[in-house]
Structure 1
C-alpha cells in the first residue's frame, strides 16, 4: 500500500506525533474541540487517563498567528508544541513541552510540566473524547448516517 502524506505541513507533523503517541500507548484524536471556540491539533488519552494536548506549528508565522494556545492549558495535564527540525525553537515558551516531528515519527525533546486536571473536567473530557472517537468511527463505517440516512 502506498504511503500518502497529508497535504499540509501541520498535518504531516500531526501524523508523526500521533505515531509517537501511539507508541506510548496513548489514544489520539486530531482536531479535537475541548470547548466551544477551541480546537486543538491533537489530544491524547494516556493509559492512566492522563490528557495531553499537542499543537503542531509548521513555521514562525504559524506560531505567531496562534492567539488561542493559552486557553488550551486549562484542558490538559500536559501541553506540547510539535515542530520540525528547522523551526526556531527559541520562540516556544520554556514552560511547555517540545516535540520534534516529521511525517514518519516524533521524539519528545522536553517533557511538558504536569498540571493535573480537576476530576470533573477530566471526566467530561474523557467522555467527550470517547464520544468523538466513536462518532468518527461510525462516520467512517457508515457515511450515509451523516447525510440523514440510517440513524
Structure 2
C-alpha cells in the first residue's frame, strides 16, 4: 500500500503550492460551515484543522503553513467563526499541526494511523500548553481534550483515508 503513496514537499516558489493551499483553505471553510450546523459542532469536531493536516502531510509543510494561516482568518472574516479572540490559539495549533505533519511525512514518507495519532497528539499537547500560557487558564486550554476527541479521531481516521486513498497518487 505505501509503495505507491506519493508525498510531496512543494516549494514557496511554485504556483502549485499556492493553488494547492487555496484548495485546502476552501476545504477548511466548507467543512466548518457544515459542522457548525450541528450544536457545538466546531468545538466537538475541530473542523478547521482537518485540511491543514491533509495538506501538510501530503504536500509538505509549506502548503500546510499557508493553509494553517489563511483558514482561520478567512473563516473569521467571512463568518465570524472562530471569534477573533480565539484566533491566536487556533492559529498556534494550526501552525504546529502544519509543521509537525509536514516534518513527520518528510521523515517517514508514509502515512499510517499510528503516525497520524502522533501528529494529532503532538500538535494538541503543544498547542494546549501554548494556549494555557496565552489564556492563563488550564481548564479552557484543555477544551479540545475535554470536548474535541471526536474531532481528533476525525483528523486521524479521516486524514488517513484522505491521504492514503482519496488523494493517493496526486
Indicate the structure whose relative CO is greater, using CA pairs within 8 Å and at least 6 residues apart: 2
Bigger share in helix: 2
Which structure has the greater CA radius of gyration?
Answer: 1
Bigger share in strand: 1
* Same topology, TM > 0.5: no
The TM-score normalised by the length of structure 2 is 0.27
The TM-score normalised by the length of structure 1 is 0.29
